[in-house]
Structure 1
Amino acid sequence: MNRALRTTLATITALTLTGAASCTLLADDGDDSGETKIEATDGVDPADAIAGTTVTLVTHDSFNLPKKLIRQFQKDTGATLKIRPSGDAGKLTNALALSQSNPIGDVAFGVDNTFASRAVDEDVFATYAAELPGSAEKLRLDGDAGDKLAPIDQASVCVNVDTAWFEKNDQEPPTSLDDLTDPAYKDLTVIPGAATSSPGLAFLLATIAEYGDDWPDYWTDLVGNGAELTEGWTDAYYGGFTGGGDGDRPIVVSYDTSPAFTVDKKTGETTTAALLDTCFRQVEYAGVLENAKNPVGGQAVVDWLLSPEVQAALPDNMYVFPVDDSVALPKEWAKFAQQPTEPYEVSADDISEHRAEWLTEWTDIVSR
């Protein structure tokens, strides 16, 4: 993952601090030559160990936090934080797997529960059992993966509808997955692709959880009913969805948080709704990369992402729920960002065992 109306971080602006703890946030240029591995030394505070070093955070394109938080991290550690956007969660995971022996950074954020098993199987992440807020323990992965990946945020992928569009067109919106194949909703749905997008894969898993072995038939009917597929969430929500941009389709696969960001200022009511019976929960993780040049710096970044300050910034900046339940949520969320009580689930073992098979079959169906 990266969210509903979240701002894509297309480029990273250089931020320079003045004073003794001066450091810079850099856009990554892909050149890590000449770096030497930084290890903590017994008796040396980790913050002192990384002062004056560079820490590279590899993340999805939707990573976005207030610059003041990034400056504070740099001031507190004396390190330079370099952000390296690497596509959606699927592309990110693939890039991390391909560069495992010579990683493209020190720490990664944005691998979610649909891709985590692949990353762990490929030995992408080093062991670092970060201290979690108590409320986040339920989101920790099972087995060794739980000591390698720390849950940072969570939200549920759900079908969203533009309620204003349906009201204007005097039509009842869909209420279920079955409805999306009804001719009444022909050519009205846009979905991020499962092979290139983490919410797209989450939606595929929701249909597998609902229809079991019959899921290919559902997708054949869905595509036959004119569902449009895009490469990623941004293209679907901003490009195709009437409620998010200039699109012409009032049904989209997005998040349970999305309606909190389509509130009409005049009426104080949201113009969209998430169908809470269609949801699959998505959790995003962070972890230190195996063979990282600056693993101590990577650990510091994981701890920072779990800090109350960053957790509190997640809803307004990345449109996800923090894993720390003690953090106050924006007031609009209580009314409009409702979470499903029984989201669809597919076990991590099943995802690991069948992901490639499912995606191959899904690609065949949507390519016909």
Structure 2
Amino acid sequence: MLPRRLRTTIAVAVTGLLATGCTLAGGEDHADDAATTVTLATHDSFAVPREVLEAFEQRSGIRIEQLKQGDAGALANKLVLTKANPVADVAFGVDSTFASRTLREGVFERHTPDAAGQGPQRYALDGRGADRLTAVDVGDVCVNVDREWFASHDVPEPRTFADLTRPRYRDLLVTPSPATSSPGLAFLLATIADSGEDGWRDYWRDLKANGAEVVSGWTEAYTQEFSGSSGEGPRPIVVSYASSPAAEVGDDGSPRTRALLDTCYRQVEYAGVLAGTDKPRQARQVVDFLLSREFQRTVADNMYVYPTRSDVELPEAWQEAAPLPEDPAELPSNQVDRGREDWISQWRELYEG
């Protein structure tokens, strides 16, 4: 979801995310002195405009304190390890590749915001997850290409997973590792959905034989190795997000990169009230805030993800540069939970062994 989201680099640059443990509003405290402080555990990419946050704090009497926990995987692990003594009252940023683990461990308690019926329920998890985690944003992971590179080299852009193994695309792909990166894991799941549990290992052998490079995380892949970003790296194909081209619009208004919509994997980010909080009423209000129109209208520009509310429109520039994929790959959450660690282990043996 998202982890994970391009959005870390841009959100930090645009909004100046605050240090771990400080209030999201920062600077002068605009909340009432008697306000209740609610701790919100998030991934590192969380961002919200100051004025939107302050309006909520003043209206609700709740002061939000942010606690960053790394990417989506690190956040999920921390919530599980501390479930007996929760580090926060609310969590945002557990994505669909890790959500089933947190639910199995009983990390979240029941709460369904009234606004869930305005679109977020389209992304509800299986079974008991539907009343414990609420979808806040969508950040589909897709292969991206540098359009200018392909045009200047007179090479047709790839379209499918199978294309990435063809000789004409040798040494052109870079991907974050599925063992250490949320988008890398989403890409692995996408290949499993595409090739099946019996065929994905052969597919990755073909990728490796075709010179696909694997790096530790999204930042290295996108900002250092990818030719279509500011890093101007050597490789014109990268695993990133469906929203990434919205950040690569040229002076003529056209995106310099493109997401290959036949290679996308649905990644949803969720929020929930942590079981064991001593502020359940205020924690529920914070989750409701993340589903409000005011907050949902900010997620595209501030975190480079798609809102889940159906009554919130994307920025106009996204309509061409970064449309939401209509038919991304998905695996059932229980299948991901059952197979994730084994798949990663097999991938390590195959690609790193």
- CA displacement at 1:78 relative to structure 2: 2.4
**Of 290, 300, 310, which residue of structure 1 is paired with 2:285?**
300
TM-score (norm 1): 0.87
1:145 match: 129
Whole-angstrom CA distance in 1 between matches of 2:45 and 2:29? 28
Whole-angstrom CA distance in 2 between matches of 1:356 and 1:289? 24
- CA displacement at 1:10 relative to structure 2: 5.6
2:51 match: 68
Q: Could you report, residue by residue, the CA deviation over 1:104-132 in whole angstroms, capped at 9, with x for unpaired residues?
A: 11111111111110110111111112221
Contact 1:133 1:323 in 2 (8 A): no
1:257 match: 243
- CA displacement at 1:228 relative to structure 2: 2.1
Larger Rg: 1
Match of 2:218, as an amino acid?
A: W
Deviates more, 1:169-178 or 1:97-106: 169-178
Q: 1:174 aligned to 2:176?
A: no
- CA displacement at 1:215 relative to structure 2: 0.3
Q: How does 1:62-211 map to 2 (within 5 A)?
A: 62-131=45-114, 132-211=116-195
Tell me: CA distance 1:66–1:208, structure 2 relative to 1, closer, same or farther (3 Å). Answer: same
Q: Could you report, residue by residue, the CA deviation over 1:73-93 in whole angstroms, capped at 9, with x for unpaired residues?
A: 222222321111111111111
Tell me: CA distance 1:79–1:67, structure 2 relative to 1, closer, same or farther (3 Å). Answer: same
Whole-angstrom CA distance in 2 between matches of 1:123 and 1:161? 40
Percent identical among aligned pairs is: 46
Match of 2:133, as an amino acid?
A: L
Contact 1:90 1:195 in 2 (8 A): no
Deviates more, 1:225-234 or 1:153-162: 225-234
Q: Could you report, residue by residue, the CA deviation over 1:181-201 in whole angstroms, capped at 9, with x for unpaired residues?
A: 223222221112212222211
Tell me: CA distance 1:231–1:70, structure 2 relative to 1, closer, same or farther (3 Å). Answer: farther
Tell me: CA distance 1:211–1:143, structure 2 relative to 1, closer, same or farther (3 Å). Answer: same
Contact 2:266 2:329 in 1 (8 A): yes
Say what the alpha-carbon RMSD is for the aligned residues: 1.9
Contact 2:123 2:135 in 1 (8 A): yes
Moved over 3 A (4+): 3-6, 8-14, 16-19
Q: Which runs of 5+ in 2 are unaligned?
A: none
1:48 match: none
* SS of aligned partner of 2:164: helix
Whole-angstrom CA distance in 2 between matches of 1:129 and 1:101? 23
Whole-angstrom CA distance in 1 between matches of 2:86 and 2:217? 25
1:52 match: 35
Q: Could you report, residue by residue, the CA deviation over 1:270-295 in whole angstroms, capped at 9, with x for unpaired residues?
A: 11011111111111100011112433
